[in-house]
Amino acid sequence: MAFEGFPLIVGWELTLACNLRCRHCASAAGLARENELSLDECLAICEQFPALLVQEVDFTGGEPLLKPGWENIAARLRELGIITRLVTNGVGLTPATVERMKDAGLASVGVSLDGMEATHDYVRAREGMFHLVIAGLERLVAAGLPPTVITAVNSLNVSELPQVFCLLQSLGVHAWQIQPINPNGRSSERPELQLDENQFLELGRFIAEWSPKGREAGLDLRPADSCGYFTELATDDGWRGCSAGIAAIGIMSDGRIKGCLSMPDELTDGDLRKNDLWDIWFRPGAFAYTRDYEYGKLGPNCAGCEHGDQCRGGCTSMSYTTTGRIHNDPFCFHAIRARQQAGVKAQFRREELVELACQKCAEKMSPTHV
C-alpha cells in the first residue's frame, strides 16, 4: 500500500551560522553552510506546506535569528495558518528582538539553558552567556511570549537538574524540554560530556520524580524522543517509535531534507533545489529506515525485546550516532535495566569515555571537567 503519512511537523534549520561555538553542539554550528537557501527560496518553500498538511514549523539552526528575513518567513507561515516556533541560544533576546518575535506571530520560543551558571557557560564556551539567557527568558515572559526552556542533558549538568527546575519556576517558565546530549557534531569530540548508562538512569529518575512536582508547580517537563522507554522512569508510555519521515521532516539550510534534523548529514533524503517537497516525501523508498520497519531489523541492543514492534528500536538519531545502526538505541531505560539485571557489562561507561577523550582530544579538554 502506498504511504499515506504527512510531514505534520517541520524542523527547519534556517541557517547553520551561529554566534556561539557550544562544546556540545550536535550540528557543529558556527559558519553558514555553503549556498544556503535565499529568503525568496525559503518563502517559495512555505507555499508547498499547506498541500502537505504541515501543521507546525519549528525554526532551528545554527542560530535562526541570524537568518536575514526570518520574520518574513514566520509571517508568511502565519498567513498560511501554520503554527511557527523558534529555537534560539537565547543570547540575542534583546527587547527589540522579543518585539520582532511577537510581531512575526511566533507561537512560542524555545531557549537553550544547559545547567546552572558555571556549567552553562562551560558548555557555551563563553562566560556571561548564562546571565544573557536568564535576562532573555525574563523578557519573553514579560512580553507574554511563552518560552520553552530546552536543556541538553550531559554528564556535567545531570545532577543540576533540580536547581534548574527551581530556577525556571522562579522565572515563570511553564515548559521544559529535557533531551539527552546527542553524540554527533562537536559533541562527538567531547566524550567527557556524554552520559553513561547510570547517568541516563539518573536522568530518568529525575524526570519520574520531578514531573509530578512540575505539574503541581505549573512547569511541564517533557522528555524528548531519545529519552525513555517502557519503565517506570518513562513518564509517557506513548512512545511508538521514531516519527522521522513518517509525521515529521527536517529541512537543512541548503535545502537538503532529512527525516529529522538531529540525524547526521549523511542521512539526507532529497534536496528541495532538485525536487519539490511533495515528490521528496512521497517518493517510493523514501525514508525507508522508519517507513519500512520490521521487527527483524532490530539491532543487537533491541533484538528480542517484547516492545520491539511498538518501539522500533528507540531514537533513530541516538541509535545511529552511538552504534552506527538504526533500530538499536543503546540508551533505552528498559534495555539498560535488562542489561544490568543480567549482569552484562555496560556498553558506555564513563571511565572509558573519559579515557577515550583523553586519547583523542586531550588538547581540547578542560581538566576541570574530566
Partner 1 sequence: MIQPINVVLADWIWRRKWIFYYLVVVNDIFDKNQISVNVNPEFENVTFGYAKAYIEKGEMPPADIAPAILNMADDYLAGRPVAIRAGDYIAIHNHMRKMAK
CB of 86 to partner 1, least distance (A): 8
Residues in a beta bridge with 249 = 10
**CA angle 100-82-33, nearest 5°?**
65
Q: How far is the CB of 362 from partner 1 (least distance, A)?
A: 32
Q: Which is nearer to partner 1, 163 or 278 (CB)?
A: 278
**Rounded to the nearest 5°, which phi and psi values hold at 28?**
50, 45
Identity of residue 70: W
Q: Looking at residue 173, what DSSP letter applies?
A: -
Tell the smallest beta-carbon distance from residue 224 to partner 1 (Å): 5
Residue type, 250: G
Does residue 309 interact with partner 1 by CB under 8 A?
no
Under the binding rule (CB under 8 A), the answer on residue 335 touching partner 1 is: no
The minimum distance between CB 364 and partner 1, in angstroms, equals 27
Residues 6+ apart with CB under 8 A from 177: 110, 148, 149, 150, 151, 222, 223, 224
Instruction: Among 108, 155, 211, 322, indicate the residue that binds partner 1 (CB under 8 A).
Output: 108
Rule CB under 8 A: choose which of 19, 48, 55, 198 binds partner 1: 55
Given the rule CB under 8 A, which of 158-166, 223-231, 265-273, 287-295 is the region that contacts partner 1?
Answer: 223-231
53 binds partner 1 (CB under 8 A): yes
Smallest distance, Å, CB 28 to partner 1? 17
**Minimum CB–partner distance for residue 75 and partner 1 (Å):** 17
Q: Does 16 bind partner 1 (CB under 8 A)?
A: no
- Taking the complex as a whole, how short is the minimal distance between the CB of residue 237 and partner 1, in angstroms? 9
| Order of all β-strands in the sheet with 83-88 | 220-223, 175-180, 147-153, 108-112, 83-88, 56-60, 9-13, 248-251, 256-258, 268-271
Q: How many C-beta atoms surround the C-beta of residue 336 within 10 A?
A: 24
Among 36, 58, 121, 202, which residue sits at the site for partner 1 (rule: CB under 8 A)? 58
Stretch that binds partner 1, among 15-23, 102-110, 112-120, 350-358 (CB under 8 A): 102-110
Q: Does position 261 bind partner 1 by CB under 8 A?
A: yes
Residue count of the chain: 370
CB 16 within 8 A of CB 59: no
Distance in angstroms (rounded) separating the CA atoms of residues 257 and 268? 5
**DSSP class of 265:** G
List residues binding partner 1 (CB under 8 A).
2, 4-6, 8-9, 11, 50-51, 53, 55-56, 58, 60, 81, 83, 85, 87, 107-110, 146, 148, 150, 175, 177, 179, 222-226, 236, 238-241, 243, 246-248, 250, 260-262, 278, 282, 315, 317
